């Protein structure tokens, strides 16, 4: 597994709620490439709860939408916009847990329309939320006009203990 380098880090005006490391109220997600999957581990915070000790469904959607977007960035080396997101909440997420794990992958391509599947797992490895995001992707030329010049990974392989090889989390 390799860490994905954030191509906008340090860029003036970059303040994405999902992935900007300097956004004081954002969720500050980081991403890793694991074969066909893009993976993120996000540390739970009580500030993002809905009901008592329960992660807000809107925040779950943000996390899932963001990992789907990064799947497009890394796997297709272009940008895009979410045109539709179908979210299924299967199990509540307890904010007293330390983290959630997210995984996403491209499931279908139809010219510039890309379907990305994603799951949010609790600390026990249970699928809590699933999403299917439909993305309208831009040509690489248009992405460059929007200041996107590629999405690379760091050279070194990482073995993070919280990213398990348990098959229940691998798809």
Encoded tokens for 83: 């045109």
Encoded tokens for 138: 């831009």
Quick one: pLDDT at residue 168?
44
Among candidates 38, 115, 54, 113, which has minimal Cα distance to 89? Answer: 54
pLDDT tens track of the chain, all 171 residues? 999 999 999 889 999 999 999 999 999 999 999 999 999 999 999 899 999 999 999 999 999 999 999 999 999 999 999 999 999 999 999 999 999 999 999 999 999 999 999 999 999 999 999 999 999 999 989 999 888 989 999 988 877 555 454 444 444
Q: Are 139 and 131 in contact (CB under 8 A)?
A: no
Residues 6+ apart with CB under 8 A from 19: 6, 8, 26, 27, 28, 29, 30, 31, 66, 70
Quick one: pLDDT at residue 156?
84
Quick one: pLDDT at residue 10?
87
Quick one: pLDDT at residue 162?
53
Quick one: pLDDT at residue 151?
92
Please report where in the chains the tokens 């009901």 appear, as a residue: 51
Q: Is the pTM of this model over 0.85?
A: yes
What domains can you pick out in the chain, each with its CATH number? Answer: 2-169 (3.10.129.10)
Quick one: pLDDT at residue 65?
98
Residues 6+ apart with CB under 8 A from 1: 32, 33, 34, 39, 157, 158, 159, 160, 163
Q: What is the DSSP secondary-structure string of the chain?
A: -EEBP-TTTT-TT---TTT-TT-TTS-----EEETTEEEEEEE--GGGBSSTTBB-HHHHHHHHHHHHHHHHHHHHSS-EEEEEEEEEE-S--BTTSSEEEEEEEEEEEETTEEEEEEEEE-TTS-EEEEEEEEEEEPPHHHHHHTT-----B-SS----TTS---GGG--
Quick one: pLDDT at residue 147?
84
């Amino acid at each position: 597994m390799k860490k994905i380098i954030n191509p906008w880090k340090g860029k003036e005006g970059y303040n994405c709620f999902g992935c900007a490391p300097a956004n004081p109220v954002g969720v500050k997600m980081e991403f890793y490439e694991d074969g066909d999957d893009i993976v993120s581990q996000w540390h739970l915070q009580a500030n993002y709860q809905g009901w008592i000790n329960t992660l807000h469904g809107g925040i779950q959607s943000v996390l899932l939408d963001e990992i789907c977007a990064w799947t497009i960035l890394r796997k297709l080396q272009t940008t895009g916009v979410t045109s539709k997101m179908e979210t299924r909440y299967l199990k509540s997420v307890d904010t007293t847990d330390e983290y959630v794990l997210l995984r996403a992958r491209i499931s279908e391509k139809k010219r510039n329309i890309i379907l990305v599947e994603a799951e949010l797992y609790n600390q026990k490895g249970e699928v809590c939320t699933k999403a299917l995001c439909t993305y309208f992707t831009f040509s690489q030329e248009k992405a460059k006009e929007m200041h996107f010049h590629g999405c690379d990974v760091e050279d070194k392989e990482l073995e993070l203990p919280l990213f398990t090889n348990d098959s229940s989390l691998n798809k």
